């Protein structure tokens, strides 16, 4: 019988349709083969992108030249403009402001066909180190309230270029999805003086039904109310609210856990298209700032990464209700991922 499951973080319901349960091979997505003879992100094409804002490169190399390991550049086709005033205004019952923000691309490697799960460990560490550095810098921008790091891997996941890259968008508002997480975390803390995410992690570790991988520092699990088949929630086991403050040791542990999770998806589902998003603390240095703006963040929020394989599509029911229908029970998905031969 199908089940209705509720997510205490996003306050949403999911239908886990156990009668539709399938094996991983039934979710195979045939990605169209796209041959791109030229990559503007490849080493040697540095003049084809805007000037870099950050790079990890060999000591003898020069900015905007070959010799880099990871390179961060403004998005040439940015969704938001870096310059200008917000110009907040009301239009009747509506609110409006100028499209001010930041849109950057983290080019993960000089090699056009080397993706995160297949990279050497030290290269994955360089990539996530670039995540941390850009967060640190952008959170000081007084106009930005939230900085989202996200990755689109594969055409079905929205990637326009196959060269491995991640994107960063800095917004002058807090997105609805993140805001709901923040509200849920704050409400839980005010009632119980505990972190909601820590409570979820401890309960999942005790049950072990949906745990995919755990080590001393991180845990990857399939959420109890997963929206999509083989969705993965990856988080530090120790409480931490702000990814920009992660230590070098924890950054290395995160890189290992991320590589492990992506490898399990690759081997279980035959290299599926996927998205991932990093949810961390919002920027608290915005000007102006409302009184009491997320004052308990340090205690109630818990940064995490959500990985979503693009195996099913949203249709009329999902759009009309906000519910999701997941044909793969999370317990089965976790078992398949645990058993993946790495």
Task: List the beta bridge partners of residue 147.
Answer: 170
Task: List the beta bridge partners of residue 168.
Answer: 104, 149
| Among candidate residues 184, 294, 197, the one with its CA nearest the CA of residue 240 | 197
In 10 A of CB 323, how many CB atoms? 14
| Among candidate residues 237, 255, 258, the one with its CA nearest the CA of residue 302 | 237
Residue positions annotated with a catalytic role:
165
**Cα Rg of the chain (Å, integer):** 20
Edge-to-edge strand list for the sheet holding 12-16: 3-7, 12-16, 324-326
CB contact at 8 A, 274 and 265? yes
Tell me which H or E stretch contains 49. none
In 10 A of CB 260, how many CB atoms? 18
CA distance 254 to 96: 38
CA angle 291–294–297, rounded 5-degree value: 145
- φ/ψ bin of 193: left (φ > 0), alpha (ψ from -120 to 50), beta (otherwise): left
Exposure string for 96-121, b = 16+ CB within 10 A, e = fewer: eeeebbbbbbbbbbbebeebbbbbee
Cis status, amide bond into 288, omega within 30 of 0: yes
CB contact at 8 A, 31 and 310? no
Report the sign of the C-alpha dihedral through residues 246, 249, 254, 255, in that order: positive
CA distance 1 to 18: 6
């Amino acid at each position: 019988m199908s089940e209705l499951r509720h997510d205490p973080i996003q306050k949403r319901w999911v239908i886990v349709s156990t009668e539709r349960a399938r094996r991983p091979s039934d979710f195979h997505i045939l990605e169209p083969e796209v041959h791109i003879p030229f990559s503007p992100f490849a080493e040697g094409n540095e003049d084809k992108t805007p000037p870099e804002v950050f790079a990890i490169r060999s000591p003898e190399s020069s900015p905007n030249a070959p010799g880099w390991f990871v390179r961060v550049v403004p998005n040439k086709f940015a969704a938001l403009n870096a310059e200008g005033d917000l110009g907040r205004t009301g239009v009747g019952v509506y609110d409006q402001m100028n499209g001010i923000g930041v849109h950057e691309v983290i080019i993960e490697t000089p090699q056009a066909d080397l993706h995160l799960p297949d990279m050497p460990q030290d290269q994955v560490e360089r990539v996530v180190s670039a995540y941390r550095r850009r967060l640190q810098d952008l959170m000081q921008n007084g106009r930005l309230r939230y900085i989202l790091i996200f990755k689109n891997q594969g055409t079905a996941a929205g990637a326009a270029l196959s060269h491995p890259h991640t994107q960063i968008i800095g917004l002058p508002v807090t997105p609805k999805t993140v805001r709901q997480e923040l509200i849920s975390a704050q409400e839980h803390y005010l009632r119980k003086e505990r972190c909601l995410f820590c409570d979820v992690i401890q309960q999942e570790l005790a049950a072990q039904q949906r745990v995919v991988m755990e080590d001393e520092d991180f845990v990857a699990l399939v959420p109890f109310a997963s929206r999509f088949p083989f969705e993965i929630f990856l988080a530090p086991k120790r409480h931490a609210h702000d990814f920009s403050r992660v230590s070098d040791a924890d950054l290395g542990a995160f890189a290992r856990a991320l590589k492990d999770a992506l490898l399990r998806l690759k081997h279980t589902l035959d290299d599926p298209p996927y998205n991932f998003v990093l949810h961390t603390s919002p920027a608290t240095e915005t000007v102006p700032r409302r009184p009491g703006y997320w004052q308990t963040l340090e205690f109630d929020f818990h940064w995490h990464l959500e990985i979503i394989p693009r195996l099913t599509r949203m249709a009329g029911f999902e759009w009309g209700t906000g519910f999701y229908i997941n044909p793969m029970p999370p317990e089965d998905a976790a078992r398949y991922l645990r058993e993946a031969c790495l």
